[in-house]
């Protein structure tokens, strides 16, 4: 897999291997404010437990992505609710531990290349049981937040004091991308986050009623799955009460 970076040579994507350990350790210490233990570097460069990619230019690593595919039951407590309860504990999710690019090569599509490679792998017919990709990010890392939102990740949870960096606690966000038919946990607020509802409040009651009817139809399956038919009928009643 290659992309062009102006006049320089092609970038290649490959899996990490044990001989990359020292280079990976050096890059991660330059990029990330978190100090990883040595065993972590050993595992991401040699263990099949991790999906670890390197973007290389002239045989030098200029970008990294490390992810772990695991069952929903193995998610940490703060991430345990990322999927609808209709998915059993054996459902797979992918956690992105790290993604980074050498500073001089940022904004050239390297991060996108790595992330797209992961998503391509996770959406093959053999891996349809993987229903979500998620990650954590510092609330102050606006560049990363914007990157993930451009890639259609949605903010899932605010994580106060989640990170411990140089003796100081920092807030984080979790972000999720649902794939292969995955769905978020259903809440009363969930259908009202859709663009249709945002339009509804800016329209007159008659047009608003029509938009609300579209919303109800789009949410019919989720409502039927998570709530009783009486609640659904109540929402239909509210729609006609709009006039």
Q: Are strands 130-138 and 154-165 parallel, antiparallel or unpaired?
A: unpaired
Options 95, 148, 162, 175, the catalytic residue: 95
Q: Known catalytic residue: 136?
A: yes
What is the spatial distance between Cα 193 and Cα 199, in angstroms, rounded to a whole number? 11
- Strand boundaries in 107-182, DSSP class E: 130-138, 154-165, 168-178
Helix (H) or strand (E) run with residue 219 in it: none
Q: Which of 41, 134, 136, 148 does the annotation list as catalytic?
A: 136
Identify which of 5, 37, 167 has the alpha carbon closest to the alpha carbon of residue 101: 5
Whole-Å CA distances, 121 to 13, 79, 115, 176, 183: 13, 22, 10, 17, 19
CA distances from 134 to 46, 57, 105, 129, 230 (A): 23, 28, 24, 15, 34
Judge whether 95 counts as a catalytic residue: yes
**Catalytic residue annotation:** 95, 136
């Amino acid at each position: 897999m290659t992309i062009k970076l102006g006049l320089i040579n092609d970038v290649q994507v490959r899996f990490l291997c044990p001989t990359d350990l020292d280079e990976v350790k050096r890059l991660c210490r330059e990029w990330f404010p978190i100090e990883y233990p040595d065993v972590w570097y050993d595992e991401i460069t040699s263990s099949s437990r991790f999906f670890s990619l390197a973007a290389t230019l002239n045989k030098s690593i200029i970008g990294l992505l490390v992810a772990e595919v695991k069952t929903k039951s193995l998610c940490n407590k703060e991430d345990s609710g990322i999927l609808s309860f209709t998915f059993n504990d054996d459902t797979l999710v992918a956690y992105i531990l790290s993604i980074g690019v050498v500073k001089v090569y940022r904004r050239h599509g390297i991060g996108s290349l790595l992330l797209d490679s992961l998503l391509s792998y996770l959406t093959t017919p053999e891996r349809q049981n993987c229903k979500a990709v998620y990650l954590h990010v510092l609330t102050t890392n606006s560049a990363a937040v914007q990157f993930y939102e451009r890639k259609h990740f949605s903010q899932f949870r605010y994580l106060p004091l989640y990170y411990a960096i140089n003796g100081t606690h920092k807030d984080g966000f979790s972000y999720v991308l649902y794939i292969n038919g995955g769905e978020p946990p259903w809440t009363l607020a969930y259908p009202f986050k859709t663009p249709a509802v945002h339009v509804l409040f800016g329209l007159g009651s008659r047009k608003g009623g029509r938009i609300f009817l579209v919303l109800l139809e789009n949410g019919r399956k989720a409502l039927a799955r998570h709530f009783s038919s009486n609640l659904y009928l109540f929402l239909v009643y509210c729609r006609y009460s709009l006039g």
